[in-house]
Structure 1
Amino acid sequence: MQVDSVAAIPLSFPLEDGRAFGHARGVMDTRSAMLVRVETTTGEVGYGEALAPPQTTATAVEEVLAPMVEGASPYEVETLTERTHQEAYNLGGGPILQSAVSAVDIALWDLIGKATGEPIYRLLGGQQTEAVTPYASTMYITEWGEDPAEPIERAVEEGFTAAKLKIGRSVEDDVERVATARELLGDDAHLMVDYNGNYRLKQAIQSANALEPYDLTWIEEPVPPEDYTGLRKLTDRVDVPVATGESHFGRFDYKRLIADHGVDIIQPDLGRAGGFSESRFLAKWATTENVAVYPHVWNGAVGVAAALQFAASLPSYPHNENVPEPLLFEFDRSQNPLRDELLDAPLDPTGGSLAVPQGPGLGVSVNEDAVERFRTE
């Protein structure tokens, strides 16, 4: 089995006027993704996805990665990251090329899974996993000034038992939003917050301390992702676990986070951190330092499916059945047809449980008509 062709497919969906949303650093008015479609000489097809500017990332796939992969076996996938650092060493660690590598890597693993008849999480060494616990990623900062209670009320109605909210505009606003969510979700729900790196160190400490009564499961990106010193100081000074990773790209970015215990939790995004191959490397490395791993997931349908397979492969080390810990999985609740309409059978996170596809590869079927509907040139 050899790769015959690699196609990069930029996707885009503009939101309605006045419906932009986002986080403390700003709002967005378009959902986008970049798919990679890899076909073998015998006609098998694998899909991957990057979470990055679609047109620019597509160019990186076409100009740098396609020549490396075409004619090769999909089983050579785990050499792809190293090859980019060797053969495109001026670009190998950059976010665009790393995101492009992620999409190609996912597609190649999808092909391997289809060739072997196994879901990817089993190929990665994961134990039999039927489902994960989804948490609603919600309460965004909106252009239209949405009442913060409304998205949490919807999440509760949909059966979510965990949620993550956007905060980071002021300590007072943080407390108001978290208090609202905790009251609506109840005392037993897992509750996380995401600052999107909008605070300096002392602001983040003040906020974390003010939120301590609300029993947060973790705080995410409290300071900018490039502020490694601030992350380390914050992790040492607050009791709530500190998480980051969505804006880090591969092993060299993660080196200081893991080796120096800069955070308690790393959050590789499968569409940015290097796909399955690099994320598996990061997860095993994190285990050696007793750092937890929960993937960041804010992707389209293929990216969500990839993250779900990765999450199902993660070990519970050092915990066993005596320390039960749910396998929490992020599921964005904002409008995104690139997530909801690209699969023949969309993933359903409602009801408090999200099934892990057991079919070969990613375990999902991509609707190619829908792909063409959202394709942009």
Structure 2
Amino acid sequence: MDTRENLKIVSMDVKDIRFPTSLHAHGSDAMHTDPDYSCAYVTIKTIRGDTANGLTFTCGKGTEIVVTAIKSLEPLVVGQTAVDIFKDFASFWRSLTSESQIRWIGPEKGVVHLAVAAIINTLWDLWGKLLNKPVWLLLADMDPEHLVSLIDFRYISDVITKNEAIDMLKQAAEGKEERMKYLLEKGYPAYTTQVGWLGYTKETLVELCQKYLNEGYTFFKLKVGRDINDDIKRLETVRNIIGWENKLAVDANQVWDVDQAIEWMKKLERFKLTWIEEPTSPDDILGHATISKALHPLKIGVATGEMCCNRVMFKQFLQAEAIQYCQIDSARIGGVNEILSVYLMAHKFGVKVCPHAGGVGLCEMVQHLQMWDFLCLSGTQEDRVIEYVDQQHDQFEHPVVIENAKYMSPRAAGYNTTLKAEAIKQFEYPTGTEWEAMFAKGLFHDPRKKGY
């Protein structure tokens, strides 16, 4: 049997994995008050026995819907060969997003696009493992023509063409070797949101601020938007600990109307905030633009992207000058291929990319993308950071490595998205041993019983 047939995909399994983070208010913000950090977890296998894993992040309830969407796309994946997929990855990506009946319930957004992201992320893990490279290096080793061939430019060619993208990457090539040496030695700067969950007590806030300050962090982010007086008190507490030389940002997680966002942020101006994240509906491009214009005199930037559903919306955010910080999410839009297009557009518009991370597996994945950007596109780490949240990393076989508040470049082949077998045994929902124990204690309601 030739290599091509050996690499035929023979199965695609998906599991609902959930962690009970709501018990301690981890991940809580003004909109998502009780999230249980979760993921739809995909496993792909080839005839030869190669195994790869990928995921898309969720907040608990509804993960079962994403799992179903992934299963609906299974016939488009099983039976394909990895060789054929990677030979024309952009066409395969379009085949997943353009199945004529499934596309109707997107298109290229919502649950079906989360499903696409999980599958595409799994395929990148497979590609990296087949070539024995971490995904960031797999990307960095590609010539510009090859990398650009991975991207579906439909709907964005009015802003950036394939030839423009190739030229941009060629122009950025100078100094790549020096940047590689720097990355391998120094890593990539992180900022922390772990201090700032809205459900935390003041004592926890103080303890965590001091902890992360001692670990070398110079950039902190707090959740805001529930109560202005509480926001002021919490920001005062944080500034008293981290001082004024360190950076501080806030995140409203979509709770405000446009005018409300502007007025709320004016009351927080004195805290010298780097950005306000998701100040209003993630779909309101012109609303973000209005907020951005109003906050410009206050020297507060606008950041968004974790809930931006596809490259088209990112295109319009950039065209409208609605954001100063572009926050791609490694599991929100259609996986690595589509995310590359956003990096290219942001670079053309001169907007910094500071990825969203923190949910299950997001830190593990997004580090690869930002490191590629540093090596091959932006060529700088200035005023750029990757979000870091210290949750669920111990559940992965190859978790992120943070040293002195910096992401160290991953060395394991693939996309760092393989969960430990024990994690699956414990946290698969609802049959995992940890969930069975919590149902027995009455901490959560068993969905297999009436009343769910």
Task: Indicate whether the TM-score tops 0.5.
Answer: yes
Match 1:55 to one of 64, 67, 70: 64
Secondary structure, in 3 states, of the residue corresponding to 2:75? helix
1:276: how far off?
0.7
What amino acid is the match of 1:142? G
Question: What does 1:5-154 correspond to in 2, within 5 Å?
Answer: 5-15=11-21, 17=23, 19=25, 22-28=28-34, 30-52=36-58, 53-63=62-72, 65-74=73-82, 75=86, 76-87=88-99, 88-91=102-105, 92-125=107-140, 128=180, 129-130=183-184, 131-138=187-194, 139-142=196-199, 148-154=205-211
1:221: how far off?
0.6
What amino acid is the match of 1:83? S
C-alpha distance in 2, partners of 1:213/1:59?
A: 47
What is the match of residue 270 of structure 2?
Answer: 213
C-alpha distance in 1, partners of 2:396/2:204?
A: 31
What amino acid is the match of 1:246? E
Matched, 1:279 2:339: yes
User: Residues 68, 348 of structure 1: CA spacing in aligned structure 2 closer, same or farther, 3 A cutoff?
Assistant: same
C-alpha distance in 2, partners of 1:140/1:132?
A: 24
| Maintained 8 Å contact 2:55/2:417 | no
User: Residues 184, 20 of structure 1: CA spacing in aligned structure 2 closer, same or farther, 3 A cutoff?
Assistant: closer
Question: What does 1:352-363 correspond to in 2, within 5 Å?
Answer: 352-363=405-416
Secondary structure, in 3 states, of the residue corresponding to 2:33? strand
1:99: how far off?
0.7
Could you report, residue by residue, the CA deviation over 1:110-140 in whole angstroms, capped at 9, with x for unpaired residues?
1111122222112323853332112111311
| Maintained 8 Å contact 1:57/1:100 | yes
Match 2:366 to one of 276, 284, 307: 307
Q: TM-score, normalised by structure 1?
A: 0.88
| Structure 2: stretches of 5+ with no match in the other structure | 1-6, 142-175, 431-452
Q: TM-score, normalised by structure 2?
A: 0.75
Task: Please identify the structure whose Cα radius of gyration is greater.
Answer: 2
User: Residues 80, 305 of structure 1: CA spacing in aligned structure 2 closer, same or farther, 3 A cutoff?
Assistant: farther
User: Residues 187, 373 of structure 1: CA spacing in aligned structure 2 closer, same or farther, 3 A cutoff?
Assistant: same
Match 1:264 to one of 324, 333, 341: 324
Secondary structure, in 3 states, of the residue corresponding to 2:221? strand
Percent identical across equivalent pairs?
24
Could you report, residue by residue, the CA deviation over 1:243-299 in whole angstroms, capped at 9, with x for unpaired residues?
101111112332321222221222121111111111111111222222221221132
- With 13-22 and 273-282 compared, the bigger mean Cα shift is at 13-22
1:214: how far off?
2.7
Secondary structure, in 3 states, of the residue corresponding to 2:103? coil
C-alpha distance in 2, partners of 1:81/1:313?
A: 20
User: Residues 151, 79 of structure 1: CA spacing in aligned structure 2 closer, same or farther, 3 A cutoff?
Assistant: farther
- With 353-362 and 10-19 compared, the bigger mean Cα shift is at 10-19
User: Residues 223, 374 of structure 1: CA spacing in aligned structure 2 closer, same or farther, 3 A cutoff?
Assistant: same
Secondary structure, in 3 states, of the residue corresponding to 2:395? coil
User: Residues 318, 214 of structure 1: CA spacing in aligned structure 2 closer, same or farther, 3 A cutoff?
Assistant: farther
- With 243-252 and 83-92 compared, the bigger mean Cα shift is at 83-92
Instruction: Compute the RMSD of aligned alpha carbons.
Output: 2.6
What amino acid is the match of 2:269? E
User: Residues 80, 144 of structure 1: CA spacing in aligned structure 2 closer, same or farther, 3 A cutoff?
Assistant: farther
C-alpha distance in 2, partners of 1:117/1:14?
A: 34
User: Residues 244, 329 of structure 1: CA spacing in aligned structure 2 closer, same or farther, 3 A cutoff?
Assistant: same
User: Residues 18, 236 of structure 1: CA spacing in aligned structure 2 closer, same or farther, 3 A cutoff?
Assistant: closer
Structure showing greater relative contact order (alpha-carbon pairs closer than 8 Å, 6 or more residues apart): 1
| Maintained 8 Å contact 2:40/2:66 | yes
1:350: how far off?
5.5
What is the match of residue 255 of structure 1?
Answer: 315
What is the match of residue 294 of structure 1?
Answer: 354
C-alpha distance in 2, partners of 1:275/1:83?
A: 14
| Maintained 8 Å contact 1:134/1:354 | yes
